[in-house]
Amino acid sequence: MSPSPQQSTDVPTDELRSSLDGELITPQDGAYHEARRVFFKGIDRRPLAVARVAGSEDVARVVTAARETGLELAVRSGGHSRAGYGTSDGGLVIDLSGLNAIEIDTAGESAWVGTGANAGQYTVATGEHGRVTGFGDAGSVGVGGITLAGGLGFLSRKNGLTIDDLLSAEVVTADGDVLQVSEVSAPDLFWAIRGGESNFGVATRLQLRLHEISEIVGGMLILPATAETITGFLEAADAAPEDLSTIANIMIAPPMPFVPKAAHGKPVIMALMAYVGPAVQAEGVLAPFRALAEPLADMLRPMRYPELYEGPEPEPQLATGANFFADSLSPDAAAGILEWLPKSTAPMRAVQLRVLGGAVAHTANDATAFGHRDRGMLINISAMYMDPAETETHDAWVESVAAAVGRDGAGGYVGFLGDEDEETVGAAYPNGIWERLRELKRRYDPDNLFRLNHNVPPAEG
């Protein structure tokens, strides 16, 4: 949903500042330019003020100020929203980055994390106890945003989505109430926030289940990409034990030191893999992938789980993309990816293939607001680029790839969506989930205060 015009400019920022335990940063402050930035640096918005909140009471104060003034309200954990929903032109931003405490219970069965922490920080902290919770493939993503979207990553087939490990959450609602939300205390709201993103309130703390995992066999395997190796990879990933999760990026090989020179500029499968189990058994599990073709680089090895998040991450200005669920990928669709990859001028572009199944499918499709558990894979097409003038070109490329790969219009994963129309967002919540979310939105946020997101409009009537 695009930023909407402000309804009021009469905002007592001094009053709001003095009511906060945290900071309120306005354009006059030296920290303003840093405070208004998000992960995609090409998103250049100028909020009226950024509140670096110190706790849930601060969040409630800013929520109340936004409600009373009609100002647009942005909520930011890690700031990775491709649409830039973590910032605003002229509105108020709740910046949760200061709420980054991680408390691990003594028995090591769960952890409370402030939603200002990112996945990497959380994983390093819990990893010291030989425990983990699965997030996505990038350590810099905020635990707030990824958890409320669903959370697909290195442990999806082993343990399910991040929301499957969510035990409870502290949520500030549109009324400014601070609620403890769990299956027991508020089952409807707990259902909605597990996939319904920021539509229902601001999550300030999350209680997540920990799994006793310290060593895995994982890392990166790079194979030459042909239609046969791509479909072969997906078949092997589907047939593998649930202890193995894979994320296969079909891309043009960058000139990186670990990629042989002869492969630079050629299509490759750059696969990130995580096998939870003994190294001796990993050999057999990984053999079908290694047998697809002579690997261009084989960096799979026993490692501590948090090592998966080590290493540099891209720092793109802007990104575009399209994603959708599918049950299989035909050889023609794989050939379509290979045909289209070289046609993009984006410095980074990839078609990411994530085979699902395993623990993702152990939970019923309607048990949470993430309703795609019965699908075989997620296909995520993305292009990252630097120059805003190129947006149309890259958007067109993404659409061409989606058509070549056989997108059927049946929705996608909200975590990877950009700024979309209502029809696209609605399709991401299939089989009655959209209608149920709209009913709950009417109950918890009837005036759509939380609208700078993949918006679920309140049900009418």
Quote the least distance from Cβ 5 to ligand FAD, whole Å: 19
Is residue 337 a contact partner of residue 401, using CB atoms and an 8 Å limit? yes
Query: Does residue 22 touch ligand FAD according to CB under 6 A?
Result: no
Q: By C-beta, is 229 or 249 nearer to ligand FAD?
A: 249
Structure tokens at 388: 């805003």
Rounded to whole angstroms, the Cα distance separating 299 from 60 reads: 47
Quote the least distance from Cβ 384 to ligand FAD, whole Å: 9
Q: How far is CA 409 from CA 96, 238, 322, 329, in A?
A: 34, 23, 11, 15
First to last CA, the chain: 22
Query: Does residue 153 touch ligand FAD according to CB under 6 A?
Result: yes
Share in percent of the chain as helix, strand, coil (round to 5): 30, 25, 45
Rounded to whole angstroms, the Cα distance separating 189 from 437 reads: 9
List binders of ligand FAD among 77-106 (CB under 6 A): 77-81, 85-86, 96
Chosen residue from 70, 139, 151, 321 binding ligand FAD by CB under 6 A: 151
Rounded to whole angstroms, the Cα distance separating 87 from 92 reads: 8
Query: Does residue 420 touch ligand FAD according to CB under 6 A?
Result: no
CA diameter of the chain: 66
Structure tokens at 27: 């354009």
Chosen residue from 203, 208, 216, 383 binding ligand FAD by CB under 6 A: 203
Chosen residue from 16, 49, 104, 148 binding ligand FAD by CB under 6 A: 148
Options 144-152, 224-232, 294-302, 391-399: segment touching ligand FAD (CB under 6 A): 144-152
Query: Does residue 149 touch ligand FAD according to CB under 6 A?
Result: yes
Is residue 169 a contact partner of residue 205, using CB atoms and an 8 Å limit? yes
Options 44-52, 147-155, 335-343, 368-376: segment touching ligand FAD (CB under 6 A): 147-155
Query: Does residue 198 touch ligand FAD according to CB under 6 A?
Result: yes
Number of residues that bind ligand FAD (CB under 6 A): 33
Query: Does residue 243 touch ligand FAD according to CB under 6 A?
Result: no
Strands 267-275 vs 244-252: parallel, antiparallel or unpaired: antiparallel
x/- string (CB under 6 A) for ligand FAD, residues 29-68? ----------x-----------------------------
Query: Does residue 142 touch ligand FAD according to CB under 6 A?
Result: yes
CA proximity to 77, closest of 122, 42, 110: 122
Residue tagged 């793109």 (tokens): 316
Query: Does residue 145 touch ligand FAD according to CB under 6 A?
Result: yes
x/- string (CB under 6 A) for ligand FAD, residues 101-140? --------------x--------------------xxx--
Rounded to whole angstroms, the Cα distance separating 36 from 52 reads: 11
DSSP per-residue codes, 151-220: --STTHHHH--GGGGEEEEEEE-TTS-EEEEETTT-HHHHHHHTTSGGGS-EEEEEEEE-EE--EEEEEE
Q: By C-beta, is 278 or 314 nearer to ligand FAD?
A: 314
DSSP-assigned beta bridge partners for residue 95: 52, 76
Q: Name the site residues for ligand FAD (rule: CB under 6 A).
A: 39, 75-81, 85-86, 96, 115, 136-138, 141-142, 144-146, 148-153, 197-198, 202-203, 415-416, 453
